Structure 1
């Protein structure tokens, strides 16, 4: 049974949080500059381990934007200019709705049934990409615009101008206790003043996740505003050797699309010095999801896996830019395949964060293989006897969305909208 109330809340949230009609304002003199607007003071320069060469790239930078349909992003002149320098992923998909579970998934390989944007903390026995990277001494960090202090644990933060720019739900690694409960790891969840210092000192890590604030990522504004921020922040950095080297891969994408009743196709773009000249201004129609970023990193550095959706061969194709070099075999799904997985359902996936379909946190599936040849990472405090073999079976998200199921999803959502108030939506998704 679909849980229509959650779906209706998220649909209504789009109306309740209408885009702010404002002109982009640069938050700092340059992307390499510190700024009082960023609030958090720089906490010195991080120390990284020696560079670990990858098979294709030595640095991977993800920049996540918000809630935009593919066509809307692709129509923006800034994205079109950037696309001429890279590879547009026309078959890239978010894995669910709303925002927070997508952020959980991209670093942890699962969203654990979450179907809201509420305050969550995933327990210490659930692993992330950090565990895989640290096994091979690959440095990592994440930069969060307007986060007041490193590894800030609050639900959100309001600037002195009374606008809430930062939210926890868009900061994926801070939600995992396996990261924040270790002080050396927590220090790598950094703010934008830290970024200015780190890039200036040429001390950026090898794996980086960047989250702009709620205006600059398009959440409270629109795709044009987010594009203007990219023009201010990313475009100058593309020519900065401290940021973009010959072995750097940069990915721009969105957490989810805006229209919940269609497939969760979002804009994805691969940039950076590692993209060969012959592949610039091209498209890749291969079916990818947020789990593909995990499997691609695993493949590039020959890492282990998390034993979750990063080992799902339907959902975790490795980017062809890398797979073509490593001879990794992807499936044959593309953006035009007739039966793609159902990735726009909300509230129907069992898990420990879904009160309506509760399933305990399960041990990783050690029988699967990820993008690399390493073993599944199993934290020492995991109950390895608690597996999918003895827990309620989740809904098969690799099953294609049928016409009847899509109609039922829309019908259930519509029947609930009249019963939910805008105030209730604002309270849940603030």
Structure 2
């Protein structure tokens, strides 16, 4: 039976405003959040809304299912020193030159879903407008099923900044286990403002239901909660979660069959002063047997997750980082089958760019170096060979080459317009609007005017600085 939002919010505290500083890793003792990987639990908070309904399987060239599981804030060497991660590497191919895009966490999650982090350099509330595309647009063009599973998220489609629920580890009190910044698709209005899409962002109770019904979709993004992903803990705690949840499910063909690839990675390094190399492993029943317990030193990034999926299913592209030949190498075992030619950069090559730079990259999500959203490169050729997806109402005239000079909104006491909470949510499985204010206090930076129709939104620019309109106008 589905738990209502009122019951959920009575059991926990919804923090709609910006949270305080990130918790440091603590000496918490791992406690299983459920009785098994395929069991529902009150610690995942809301009850399942039922089994996911997917269409027929769309065959890929190398795999039919792609699952990403992300952990947090760990240097390559730290993960590589863990016996649990060493044991896992025997089951797959370890990417020894895989890099995150920047710091801190949130821009990396945005990048893997949208092909760009749009200058973001914080973990604050962000809501990317409707005409900016994501991997969901590409998947749905080919009728490929997808979902995101977020541990300890209160209910399907939850759009809040974070969620505090019962502290099941301590056995008393409350703990903030879920954060929006680790949920990449919810940040894109083109997903979260469309009910059918928003409800495909599910919690682990839904995951258990979907596994038991053999209904795991073809593309999935999985985020453990803040202790199980290592954000508030350490690599040993993550290892215990792997032993509880991941190791058993790897033997379950309802999740991991002979056409499944599972990618384990981290959002970023813990140490900001080094380049952003992170431990990343591809495994699963669909991995060629000869690649197990091997390494691949090809230069990959989070954009490679997009280009690899595009190559496998012959998709279109986003025309952003997924088509940037310096950053979009396709996983070699997929490139070899699809005919994609990688750029040849590998190992410790001096051609690997610095990917630990943060705070100074212009973009619409950076109030100190603000520029408006630009159109993707519509002439780009991606690894899937299809056309660049263009969102509805996209102004293709504003390109990266024609961007105006960045504006420092912070110096003017303003924030980016995309720091505002658009005010919709799905507490009972349908879209409702609230009067939630901007969580970062940036109401003066821009305004949004939202219609009640699903997925339809008019965004009206409210601020012009030095002749620069900061909010793009969407044509309905």
Would you say same fold, with TM above 0.5? yes
> What is aligned with 1:171?
183
Partner in structure 1 of residue 203 of structure 2: 191
Q: Distance in 1 between matches of 2:46 and 2:295?
A: 39
Q: Which of 106, 109, 116 is the aligned partner of 2:115?
A: 109
Corresponding residue to 1:357 among 342, 366, 369: 369
- Name which structure has the greater RCO, CA cutoff 8 Å, separation 6+: 1
Residue 375 (1) aligns with residue 387 (2)? yes
Q: Does 1:334 align with 2:334?
A: no
Deviations 1:375-402 (A, max 9, x none): 00001211111112311479xxxxxxxx
Q: Secondary structure at the match of 1:356?
A: helix
Match of 1:181 in 2: 193
Structure 1 equivalent of residue 152 of structure 2: 146
Relative to structure 1, the CA distance from residue 31 to residue 330 in structure 2 (aligned partners, 3 Å threshold; closer, same or farther) is: same
Tell me whether 1:32 sits opposite 2:38 in the alignment: yes
Instruction: Give the alignment of 1:232-251 within 5 angstroms.
Output: 232-251=244-263
**Distance (whole Å) between structure 1 residues aligned to residue 235 and residue 405 of structure 2:** 38
Which whole-Å deviations, capped at 9, do the CAs of 1:187-209 have from their partners, x for residues lacking one?
10000000000000001100000
- Who is 2:48 aligned against? 42
User: Which of 48, 54, 59 pairs up with 2:60?
Assistant: 54
Structure 1 residue 44, shift from structure 2 partner: 0.4
- Deviation of 1:274 (Å): 1.0
Whole-angstrom CA distance in 2 between matches of 1:160 and 1:141: 26
Of the three residues 19, 38, 59, the one matched with 2:25 is 19
Residue in structure 2 matched with residue 302 of structure 1 by the alignment:
314
Q: Indicate the residue corresponding to 1:400 in structure 2.
A: none
Residue 233 of structure 1 and its aligned partner are, at CA, apart by 0.8
| 2:129 matches 1:123 | yes
Q: Compute the displacement of 1:23 (Å).
A: 1.9
Q: Deviations over 1:75-117 (max 9, x none)?
A: 1111111100100000000000000000000010000000000
Corresponding residue number in structure 1 for 2:166? 160
> 1:342-389: per-residue Cα shift (whole Å, max 9, x none)?
210011111001111111001111121111110000012111111123
Q: What TM-score results when the alignment is normalised by the length of structure 1? A: 0.87
Give the whole-Å Cα distance in 1 for the aligned partners of 2:321 and 2:158.
Answer: 28
Counterpart check, 1:206 vs 2:218: yes
Give 2:84's match in structure 1, choosing from 66, 78, 84: 78
Give 3-state SS (helix, strand or coil) of 2:118's partner. Answer: coil
SS where residue 159 of structure 1 aligns? strand
Structure 2 SS opposite 1:141: strand
CA distance in 2, matches of 1:130, 1:292: 16
Q: How far is the alpha carbon of 1:324 from its aligned partner? A: 1.3
Instruction: Give SS of 2:295's match.
Output: strand
Matches within 5 A, 1:365-404: 365-392=377-404
Task: Give the distance between the partners of 2:288 and 2:389, measured in 1 at CA.
Answer: 33
Aligned to 1:259: 271
Query: SS at 2:368's partner residue?
Result: coil
Q: 1:294 deviation in Å?
A: 0.1
Q: CA RMSD in A?
A: 1.4
Range moving further from structure 2, 333-342 or 344-353? 333-342
> Which structure has more helix as a fraction of its residues?
1
- Superposed structure 1 runs of 4+ greater than 4 Å apart: none
1:346 and 2:358 correspond: yes
Matched residues, number? 383
Are 2:327 and 1:315 aligned? yes
CA distance in 2, matches of 1:141, 1:170: 15
Secondary structure, in 3 states, of the residue corresponding to 2:140? helix
